[in-house]
């Protein structure tokens, strides 16, 4: 009964109408409602694209050339916390970088240490910039790690990023393996559902539910109904739990409908093939629901605790950092603390299904962690709400008990 009341309250609100409108607009701007590319079976002699492999013979010369180029201009691109950062080294650090380049190439450090960039380019020709003949891959990695530390971290020279310099063409055999995986495991529709989830997660589910929960939690306060609700018999756990469930229900209904709408666009492309018609549902609940859970829980917790819309700022800030953290490695990002995991791959790259399967365990860990975090926040919301009902904290987080209860105890003991 209470659940349906909350659903009605939410579904009839301006903020929900706006939520659905924004969801449709954001997703349609990414083209997920007009999928029309069919994944064709690879044929011999085609171009199957490029992928990264950590092959020392490829990685070492490419990384050293890139480092020399950035050294020449003294402009280094890094992403220390995900966001783009332009690093310019001071003279002392520049000399240290020259030492690293010298160790890598065998060219004397003094030749790198000249005043003007133009002189530097004149002094050392491009073909000289190559790995030293006796340079081992371990030595190379150690040098690159030092370079990365000098730049403050997050550069392309970080040990885990070096693979980016090893670009190799995808072979026909690899392409066939990927196609087979899409056919057998994804049953085609899974790939499209994943692409939908990538956009829906980052553009909507990681941010929009916070507005719904803030609006719902502030509604009692705005209508001056807080005290009336506080005095009702229903327990805080039931009240908060029901509200949370109502928010997630109204959030997920349009998401599931839109996921099916998007996915159904490709069903006729694969006539006669085995398709997974449950893929949109699986991805909506497995991939998108945990993001929505966290976003809604942050909204409820901070709003109940402070009585202000500060949760919007908190969630927007987290979302902003998370979104930009994807810029360096946008095509596949399954970090444990990602608010919205990324896997931006369509038919051209055969949905990068190998990346997905090899990162699947990390994705599961991430989604479980986010769902768990959301539930912890819900429990904390129940405590905050309960304290308010009992008058332990005020509407705007004034801890009355700390300042008011102490003299009471004193008086009691005196009596």
Partner 1 sequence: MHILVGALVLFLTPVLFGITDLDRFASAVPLERFVALLGPILLTPIFGPEQSSEIDDVVSAKYIGRSVVCAVRIFCLTGIMAVMILVFAIYMRESGCEIPPVLVTGTIADAVFLGSLGMLAGAISGNVAVAYMLPVMYYTLCMGMGNKLGSFYLFAMEEGNYAGKPRMLIIGILLAAVSVWIREMKKR
Torsional class of 55: left (φ above 0), alpha (ψ -120 to 50), beta (otherwise): beta
CA-to-CA distance for 221 and 80, rounded, in angstroms? 41
Question: Among 1, 14, 133, 414, which residue interacts with partner 1 (rule: CB under 8 A)?
Answer: 14
Query: Rule CB under 8 A: is residue 192 a binding residue for partner 1?
Result: no
Q: Which of residues 36-75 bind partner 1 (CB under 8 A)?
A: 75
Which of 6, 186 has the CB closer to partner 1?
Answer: 6
Torsional class of 333: left (φ above 0), alpha (ψ -120 to 50), beta (otherwise): beta
Query: Rule CB under 8 A: is residue 30 a binding residue for partner 1?
Result: yes
CB 229 within 8 A of CB 318: no
Window of 106-114, 183-191, 287-295, 311-319 that interacts with partner 1 by CB under 8 A: 311-319
CB of 394 to partner 1, least distance (A): 15
CB 339 within 8 A of CB 319: yes
CA-to-CA distance for 415 and 409, rounded, in angstroms? 10
Query: Rule CB under 8 A: is residue 81 a binding residue for partner 1?
Result: yes
Of 223, 229, 233, 287, residue with least CA distance to 255: 287
Query: Rule CB under 8 A: is residue 337 a binding residue for partner 1?
Result: no
Instruction: Name 230's Cβ contacts closer than 8 Å, sequence gap at least 6.
Output: 388, 389
Window of 119-127, 204-212, 335-343, 349-357 that interacts with partner 1 by CB under 8 A: 204-212
Of 290, 283, 282, residue with least CA distance to 340: 290
Size of the site for partner 1 (CB under 8 A): 36
Question: Among 168, 225, 228, 316, which residue interacts with partner 1 (rule: CB under 8 A)?
Answer: 316
Instruction: Name 161's Cβ contacts closer than 8 Å, sequence gap at least 6.
Output: 155, 328
Window of 33-41, 122-130, 184-192, 208-216 that interacts with partner 1 by CB under 8 A: 208-216
CA-to-CA distance for 6 and 239, rounded, in angstroms? 10
Which of 30, 113 has the CB closer to partner 1?
Answer: 30
Query: Rule CB under 8 A: is residue 222 a binding residue for partner 1?
Result: yes
Residue ranges that bind partner 1, judged by CB under 8 A: 13-15, 18-19, 22, 25-26, 29-30, 75, 78, 81, 83-88, 199, 203, 207-208, 211-212, 214-215, 218, 222, 309, 312-313, 316, 320-321, 323
């Amino acid at each position: 009964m209470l659940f349906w009341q909350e659903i009605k309250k939410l579904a009839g609100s301006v903020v929900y109408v706006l939520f659905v409108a924004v969801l449709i607009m954001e997703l349609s701007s990414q083209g997920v409602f007009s999928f029309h590319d069919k994944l064709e079976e690879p044929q011999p002699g085609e171009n199957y694209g490029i992928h990264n492999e950590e092959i020392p013979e490829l990685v070492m010369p490419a990384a050293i050339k890139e480092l020399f180029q950035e050294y020449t201009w003294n402009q280094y691109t890094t992403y220390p916390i995900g966001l783009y950062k332009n690093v310019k080294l001071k003279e002392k650090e520049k000399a240290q970088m020259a030492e690293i380049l010298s160790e890598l190439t065998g060219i004397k450090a003094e030749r790198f240490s000249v005043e003007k960039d133009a002189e530097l380019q004149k002094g050392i020709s491009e073909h000289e910039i190559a790995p030293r003949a006796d340079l081992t891959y371990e030595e190379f990695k150690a040098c690159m790690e030092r370079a990365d530390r000098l730049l403050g971290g997050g550069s392309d020279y970080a040990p885990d990023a070096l693979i980016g310099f090893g670009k190799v063409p995808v072979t026909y055999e690899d392409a066939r393996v990927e196609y087979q995986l899409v056919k057998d495991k994804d049953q085609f529709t899974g790939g499209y559902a994943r692409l939908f989830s990538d956009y829906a997660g980052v553009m909507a589910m990681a941010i929009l539910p916070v507005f719904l929960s803030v609006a719902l939690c502030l509604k009692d306060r705005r209508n001056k109904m807080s005290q009336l609700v506080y005095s009702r018999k229903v327990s805080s756990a039931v009240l908060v739990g029901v509200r949370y469930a109502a928010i997630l229900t109204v959030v997920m209904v349009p998401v599931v409908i839109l996921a099916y709408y998007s996915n159904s666009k490709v069903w006729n492309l694969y006539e006669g093939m085995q398709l997974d018609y449950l893929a949109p549902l699986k991805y909506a609940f497995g991939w998108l629901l945990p993001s929505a859970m966290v976003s809604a829980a942050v909204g409820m917790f901070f709003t109940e605790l402070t009585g202000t819309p500060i949760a919007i700022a908190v969630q927007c800030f987290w979302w902003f950092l998370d979104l930009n953290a994807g810029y360096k490695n946008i095509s596949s990002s399954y970090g444990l603390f990602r608010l919205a995991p990324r896997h931006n791959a369509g038919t051209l790259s055969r949905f990068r299904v190998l990346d997905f399967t090899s990162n699947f365990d990390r994705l599961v860990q991430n989604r479980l962690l986010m769902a768990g975090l959301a539930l912890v926040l819900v429990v904390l919301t129940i405590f905050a709400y309960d304290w308010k009902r009992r008058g332990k904290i005020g509407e705007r987080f004034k801890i009355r008990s700390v300042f008011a209860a102490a003299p009471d105890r004193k008086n009691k003991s005196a009596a």
